[in-house]
Amino acid sequence: MITSQPAYAFIKQNKDPVPIETVPDEHEESRDFLPSFWWNNRRYFIQDFIRCHNNPWLGCAEYPEHIHAYEADQYVNPLFIELVDQEHINIYEEHELPSPPCV
């Protein structure tokens, strides 16, 4: 029996670029004015993402060129981000593609 590895794709989650903000943090003063963005009712800080663009130890052949960083503290369904410009990002999630039916 031959088994194949599942195929994955990065699916863009936002329609329009998400703005990066530098605002006071209402919960933790040490995070005041750090670059962050809101997604699904949660604030994400850019510093909490690990840069991976063109980083060979991650096996970049598996990552599309537009992925610049991934969520550092999330092992299940992390967010992947693309820096569009100095003020906006795009958000991606990795999804397993449906396998073809057995023949």
| Domain spans in the chain, listed from the N-terminal domain onward | 8-96
CA distance 34 to 22: 5
CB-hemisphere CA count at 13 Å for 2?
3
Return per-residue pLDDT of the chain as tens, 103 residues.
555 666 777 888 999 999 999 988 888 888 889 999 999 999 999 999 988 775 544 554 555 667 788 888 888 888 999 989 989 999 998 887 776 655 5
Only one residue has tokens 């969520």, namely: 71
